[in-house]
Structure formats: structure tokens, C-alpha cells
Structure 1
Amino acid sequence: METAQSQQQAAPGAFTAFARFVLCGGGVGLASSFAVAALAAWLPWVLANALITVVSTLLATELHARFTFGAGGRATWRQHAQSAGSAAAAYVVTCTAMLALQQVVAAPGAVLEQLVYLFASGFAGIARFAVLRLVVFARHRSQSAATVRTVRPLNATVARASAPTDPAALCRAA
């Protein structure tokens, strides 16, 4: 039977966590950029981005819990909710970038739209890494890093050696 301590993985260092974040989050983000472009052919771009953001956030949060930040298991509802907050901020950043592009360039091509979207997603991704590492998965990291301290029974010989041999001495000490 596995104990909770053996199920938990050690939290990776900042560099390792960032490399994993880029691999997982970047992979999901790259796939999302193509999914947004494809879905935007049938829906308004803002709605397509919202739908893809929700799906990609759920997927990325699971990957980050299991792999990036060493949580060793599925993400909790609390972690999903907190991650959703950072994803909402990322959604605002990507929408703002795309709306700004529409204001600056009358008819941007697909390549330019992809570049702007990926740049905005990358910027938002770096901010999300900080939030996920320092807030969302921080409590779990500190719990897994802490060791469980148990009270060891006092060695009987030490207890006897320090106890007075005369019971009357106990009354006088008090």
C-alpha cells in the first residue's frame, strides 16, 4: 500500500518547471492557436478564442499538475479554479492583441494573425507560469517538501535515568 508521501513527487526546480511548462503549455498553446483559427471560420473570433481557452486551460492545468509542477496527480478543483483566473487574464491579453491588430492593419493575413496571437499567448504564458508556480501549485509544493514529523517515544533508559529514584523527591520538586 502506497503512502501519501510516496505518491507525491519532489517539486522540480524553477528551471526544470519552466522547461516543462514551455513544453506542456507551449504545446497546448500552439495547438490552440490552430484550433482558434479553424474554429473562427464558423464562429466569431472572440467566441472561438473563449471556447478554445476553456478547453486548453483544463488540459494544460491537468498537465501542469501531473508533470510540470510535480503534484503527482490530478489537479484539484481549487487548482482548476485558480488556473482559470490566470487563463481569463490570458484571454484578455490575446483578445486585446487581436483587436489592436484589427485597428492597425485593415485586412491582416492569417500568418500575421498567427504571429500576433502567438506573441500575445507567449507573453501571457510567462505571466501564467509565475502565477501557477507561486500561487496555484505553491501550497502543494510546500506540503510535499515538508517532512512528516512524528513524535518518537522517549527511550525508556533515558526516562528512567532522568527520573528521581525517591518518590518523595517528586513532592519536594513540586
Structure 2
Amino acid sequence: MNGLRLVRRHAAAFGRFAGLGSGVTLAASAALVLLSRWIPWMAANALTTVVSTVAATELHARVSFGHGRPGLAGHLKSAATMALGWLVTSAAVGSLAALRPGAGLVLQQTVYLSATALVGIGRYLVLRLAVFAEPAPRPRTGGGVRLRAAYDAAA
């Protein structure tokens, strides 16, 4: 596969990943706002992270990477990337709360979504390169046989 096709294919996969991830993240963000009215923010973040991770893993495996169903191993590896993401988003919003105790909802969501975007880029790389990596292309065996037959015929 030539370089331009490879770049286009990965750019398309990243576009699908970003689009699906953004949609899931925005839904999770809305759920986070609603849930945080009734339960502590950290618990609401954990709950929305778990639910959105399962949904996003299914979508990314099937649509972004064309991998099919992720299976338990894929979900667990994806969950590990999201656990790290949860720590990053929690630290970002926790830092905001420490630095600006009276920060409004818009600033909180800006910090949360910005941290989530950075986590998303890192998550794409890990999922693409490790979790849902494409198998290495197999060398053609037929070519070697033909070459051997041509060699034998010439000899």
C-alpha cells in the first residue's frame, strides 16, 4: 500500500474515532451534569466513564477500526485506557476546583472537555497501535513458488 493511501486510511479512521468519541463524550458530559446534581461529581464521573467506555469500545472496534466485536480482552484493554483518562479528567477538574473554587459550569465543562480531548488523542494511538492493531500483511507464498518453478525450469 502506498504512503498516501496509508495516510488517508489512518486519517479516515481517526476521523471516525474522533466523531464517534466526541458524540459519546458529549452525551457523557450531559449525563455528568445531570448526575452530579444527585451524586458527588467524582462518582458521577466514574459512572459516566464506565458506561461511555463500553459504548465507545463497541463503536470504535466496529466502526473506527473495522475490527468487529471487541470481546472481553478488547473491552478490558480499552477500559485500562479509560481508567487513565478518568484519572486525567478528574485531576484536571479537581485542580480547577482547588484553583478556582467558585468556577462555573461553563468553565468546568471547558476544562473537562479539553482534558477529555487530550485523553482521546492518546487513547486513539493506544487502541490503534496495540488493542485493535491490524495484523501484519502476510507475505505471498505463491510468488515464491512461481519463482522456484521458473528457476527449476531455467536450470
Query: TM-score, normalised on structure 2?
Result: 0.83
Paired residues, number: 140
Q: Which runs of structure 2 are paired with 1:1-174 in the superposition (5 Å)?
A: 13-71=9-67, 73-138=68-133, 141-142=134-135, 145-146=137-138
- Per the TM alignment, residue 100 of structure 1 is displaced from its structure 2 partner at its CA by 0.3
Deviation sequence 1:58-112 (CA, Å, 0-9, x none): 00000011100111x2111111010000000000000000100001112111111
Higher RCO (CA < 8 A, seq sep 6+): 1
| Deviation digits for residues 109-130 of structure 1 (CA, Å, limit 9, x no counterpart) | 1111110100010011111001
Cα deviation code 1:40-59 (max 9, x no counterpart)? 11111000000110000000
Which runs of 5 or more structure 2 residues have no equivalent in the other structure? 1-7
Per the alignment, do residues 146 and 35 of structure 1 end up closer, same or farther by CA in structure 2, a change over 3 Å counting? farther
Structure 1 segments of 4 or more deviating over 3 A?
145-150
What amino acid is the match of 1:75? P
Percent of aligned pairs with the same amino acid: 44
The higher radius of gyration belongs to 1
Amino acid at match of 2:102: A
3-state DSSP of counterpart to 1:142: coil
Offset at 1:13? 2.1
Classify the secondary structure of the residue corresponding to 1:80. Answer: helix
Three-state SS of the structure 2 residue aligned to 1:48 is helix
Which whole-Å CA distance do the structure 1 matches of 2:140 and 2:34 have between them?
Answer: 50
Q: 1:135 to 1:110 in 2, by over 3 A?
A: same
Normalised TM-score (structure 1): 0.74
Aligned partners of 2:71 and 2:9: how far apart in 1? 22
3-state DSSP of counterpart to 1:13: helix
Rate the CA distance shift 1:148–1:55 in 2: closer, same or farther, 3 A.
farther
Deviations 1:117-162 (A, max 9, x none): 0001001111100100011001xx116x547968xx99xxx8xx99
**Structure with the higher fraction of residues in helix conformation:** 2
The DSSP-based 3-state class of the residue aligned with 2:101 is coil
Distance 1:126 1:70, change over 3 A: same
Distance 1:58 1:92 in 2: 17
Unaligned runs of 5+ in 1: 1-11, 163-174
Over the aligned positions, Cα root-mean-square deviation in angstroms equals: 2.1
Q: Which residue of 1 aligns with 2:4?
A: none
Residue type matched to 2:11 in 1? F
